[in-house]
Amino acid sequence: MRVRWPSLLMHAGAAVVAAALLAACQESSELPKQLKPVPSELSEKMKQMNMSETGPVFIRIFKESSELEVWKQTRSGRYAHLKTYDICKWSGVLGPKIVEGDRQAPEGFYTVTPGQMNPKSKFYLAFNIGYPNAFDRAHGRTGSHLMVHGACSSAGCYSMTDESAGELFALARDSFRGGQRAFQIQAFPFRMTPQNMAKHRDNQHYEFWQMLKVGNDHFEVTRVPPKVDVCDKRYVFNADAGGRSFSATTACPPYQVPEQLKIAVAQKKAADEAQVNATVARIAQEAEQAAEAQRIAEEKRVAAETRAAEKQAAKEARAEKLGIFGRMFGRDDEQSAPTTVAEEPTGSVEAAEAPVTAFAPATTPVPPAKPAATTAASANPPPSSPAPVASAPPPPAENPAAQSEAQIAPEMTPAIPEVGRFVKKQFLWIGDDGQTGG
């Protein structure tokens, strides 16, 4: 069979070209990151919550819990919580940003316009928060390029994962597409609850946070982001000055807050302050209880150490006392322990001797039984049998008591009733004159 190589090469080339065109078509169908739609599950959730995908949004940030909330307007005109995102990283500590380079994430009320959206950010996608605002500038605070962005890296910004940053960018983009001219960001140190306010009441920024809480309360009461102005170097919320303008560095013009809103906010403030005071009192009580428990524990520790020291001192005193008694009885410290003196058996007497120590024993030792008196017959055997050799008796002139006093062992206990004495390890009964006869 003849192979037609030119035809085969032509068909192979056509296949390669077709594959390349298909790949190019697939690549071109991939939308740029800034144009990607919101995830389908989030879009479905908006429908269930009676929200338009292009409806207005606003954002709340809570540093302490590292949370970013997206709220979206429902068709009723009020806002509802759509989703909470974890903040991957934020830099600094609780408190406002003060100066350029302090690596501190801002706190306050900020506004984001379409011009602050950055689809070409080196941190995936980003939008500028709007720091410094009029309030920050009135207080001489400096800084620039403070963003919410991706890449999970922060130097004064609020950094998200790329996935979260993409969703936030899409939600903001769609709201602008629906006609929203700017959306509000409320950046708080923590959730502005009475418990948190009480916990942080001693912070140097507490007065500033109380002012932020007023704006928070306006939203909590109305479920609508408040209108924010700055005058006299402070925030004012939902203020109507009758057409007069607000200046951040000059005194506030006469203004009014809608009466019902004013009453509702005042009632919430009073209720929250009561809870703050109750929480402060509870925290103080718990601190007192903890201090008292610590004091009691310290006293117990000191008492235990004192008892242990007294016990050790008593032990050392006993050891020293034993050494003194040992020296008193002619023994060194190593020999001051109780010792046992045993009787050597003589003749047919094999009675066991109770130990005799330098101190009185627990029970009075029982002396061995006195040997029976030897009869005259046994003392003088008949002539037919050889007479045994008897040891010479001690001289009758000697006093046995004096002899025993001179030869008494130092181990003898003075407290033991005097029933006899050891003389050269032989027991001498009182009244014996050393003779075998009675």
Is residue 119 domain-shared with residue 236, that is, in the same domain?
A: yes
Q: Which amino acid is at 285?
A: Q
Q: Is 229 exposed, middle or buried (0-12, 13-18, 19+ CB in 10 A)?
A: buried
* pLDDT in single tens digits along all 438 residues of the chain: 454 544 544 454 555 445 544 444 444 458 899 999 999 999 999 999 999 999 999 999 999 999 999 999 999 999 999 999 999 999 999 999 999 999 999 999 999 999 999 999 999 999 999 999 999 999 999 999 999 999 998 788 999 999 999 999 999 999 999 999 999 999 999 999 999 999 999 999 999 999 999 999 999 999 999 999 999 999 999 999 999 999 999 999 999 999 999 999 999 999 999 999 999 998 888 888 999 999 999 999 999 999 999 999 998 888 887 876 666 665 554 444 454 444 444 444 444 444 444 444 445 555 555 555 544 444 455 545 444 444 555 555 555 444 544 454 455 555 555 555 555 555 555 555 544 444
Query: Distance between CA atoms of 59 and 74, rounded to whole angstroms?
Result: 15
Structural domains counted in the chain:
2
pLDDT of residue 336: 46
pLDDT of residue 29: 54
For residues 217 and 269, the answer to whether their CB atoms sit within 8 Å is: yes
pLDDT of residue 418: 54
Cα separations in angstroms, 355 against 333, 342, 361, 367, 417: 20, 7, 9, 11, 15
Please check whether residue 377 lies inside any domain of the structure. Answer: no
Boundaries of domain holding 134 = 33-288
Please check whether residue 18 lies inside any domain of the structure. Answer: no
For residues 148 and 68, the answer to whether their CB atoms sit within 8 Å is: yes
Is residue 219 domain-shared with residue 111, that is, in the same domain?
A: yes
Tokens of 262: 């004013």
CATH assignment of the domain containing 204 = 2.40.440.10
Please check whether residue 72 lies inside any domain of the structure. Answer: yes
Q: Is 117 left (phi over 0), alpha (psi -120 to 50) or beta?
A: beta
pLDDT of residue 354: 46
Choose one of 256, 288, 320: the last residue of a domain.
Answer: 288
Could you say which of 25, 139, 149, 231 is catalytic? 149
* Sign of the Cα pseudo-torsion (419, 425, 428, 429, in order): positive
Is residue 276 domain-shared with residue 353, that is, in the same domain?
A: no
Indicate the helix (H) or strand (E) that contains 172. Answer: helix 162-177
For residues 134 and 230, the answer to whether their CB atoms sit within 8 Å is: yes
Is residue 120 domain-shared with residue 230, that is, in the same domain?
A: yes
Query: Distance between CA atoms of 288 and 278, rounded to whole angstroms?
Result: 15
Count of Cβ atoms closer than 10 Å to residue 36 Cβ: 15
DSSP annotation string for 231-282? ETTEEEES-B-TTPPP-TTSPPPP-B--HHHHHHHHHHHHHHHHHHHHHHHH
Q: Does residue 157 carry a catalytic annotation?
A: yes
Q: Is 296 exposed, middle or buried (0-12, 13-18, 19+ CB in 10 A)?
A: exposed
Q: Does residue 152 carry a catalytic annotation?
A: no
Cα separations in angstroms, 309 against 281, 287, 300, 305, 314: 42, 33, 14, 6, 9
pLDDT of residue 370: 53
The four Cα atoms 387, 389, 394, 396 give a dihedral, to 10 degrees, of: 20
Is residue 419 domain-shared with residue 276, that is, in the same domain?
A: no
Choose one of 288, 309, 330: the last residue of a domain.
Answer: 288
Is residue 344 domain-shared with residue 225, that is, in the same domain?
A: no
Phi, psi (rounded to 5 degrees) for 236: -130, 150
Residues near 242 by Cβ (< 8 Å), separated by ≥ 6? Answer: 254, 255, 256
Please check whether residue 25 lies inside any domain of the structure. Answer: no
Please check whether residue 255 lies inside any domain of the structure. Answer: yes
SS3 state at 396: coil
Is residue 283 domain-shared with residue 353, that is, in the same domain?
A: no
Choose one of 271, 288, 305: the last residue of a domain.
Answer: 288
Is residue 252 domain-shared with residue 144, that is, in the same domain?
A: yes
Please check whether residue 203 lies inside any domain of the structure. Answer: yes
Rounded (10°) angle between helices 206-222 and 259-328: 130
Could you say which of 81, 139, 157, 231 is catalytic? 157
Q: Which amino acid is at 429?
A: W
Is residue 349 domain-shared with residue 258, that is, in the same domain?
A: no
Please check whether residue 27 lies inside any domain of the structure. Answer: no
For residues 184 and 111, the answer to whether their CB atoms sit within 8 Å is: yes
pLDDT of residue 377: 41
pLDDT of residue 154: 78
Is residue 360 domain-shared with residue 246, that is, in the same domain?
A: no
Is residue 178 domain-shared with residue 98, that is, in the same domain?
A: yes
pLDDT of residue 50: 97
For residues 110 and 129, the answer to whether their CB atoms sit within 8 Å is: yes
Please check whether residue 165 lies inside any domain of the structure. Answer: yes
pLDDT of residue 156: 81
Is residue 46 domain-shared with residue 147, that is, in the same domain?
A: yes
